[in-house]
Amino acid sequence: MDSLDKGKKNPILSSFSYAVIGILTAIKAERNMRFHLISSLIAIGLSIYFSITKIEWLFILFAIGGMFALELINTAIERVVDLVTTEYHPFAKQAKDIAAGAVFIYAILSAIAGILIFMPYVLKPFQ
């Protein structure tokens, strides 16, 4: 939170605005966030088109939300590491690689969930 918040009337509203600014900043600055945004819009479009079940919607929404959350955390870790050191350090590389690895694992899990949910709908006309 910013030190300028002390004079504001609604600190909760300010917190939400900072969160939205952070999300928009990541979308503008990070190619992977834009990829995840487009992928999530495609997943939502397919979910609407196929009229998936409520349980399937939950899996899709958690996959999308988790992916965005992890990508935001990864971006934050990268920014902090870059702020702390401009020189190469093995721990800095490890921190970035480990955070990226978490995103990668979740992306694979989300893709598998998407395949398991949408494949029966896609294959239904061919059966």
pLDDT tens digit sequence for 15-33: 899 999 999 999 999 999 9
pLDDT tens digit sequence for 57-103: 999 999 999 999 999 999 999 999 999 988 999 999 999 999 999 99
Cα of 17 vs its chain's centroid, Å: 18
Residue 6: pLDDT band (50, 70, 90) is low
Is residue 121 domain-resident? yes
Is residue 47 domain-resident? yes
Is residue 86 domain-resident? yes
Is residue 22 domain-resident? yes
Structural contact between residues 32 and 49, judged by C-beta atoms closer than 8 angstroms: no
121 Cβ neighbours under 8 A, 6+ residues apart: 46, 50, 52
Is residue 5 domain-resident? no
Is residue 122 domain-resident? yes
Number of structural domains in the chain: 1
Is residue 24 domain-resident? yes
CA 56, 59, 62, 66 dihedral sign is negative
Active site residue 71: yes
Read off the pTM: 0.86
Catalytically annotated residue among 37, 40, 47, 71: 71
What is the pLDDT at residue 108?
97
Is residue 2 domain-resident? no
The domain that holds 94 is classified in CATH as 1.10.287.3610
What is the pLDDT at residue 101?
98
Annotated binding site for a divalent metal cation: 30, 78
What is the pLDDT at residue 30?
95
Query: d(Cα 67, Cα 52) in Å, to the nearest integer?
Result: 20
Domain assignment of residue 28, given as a range: 11-126
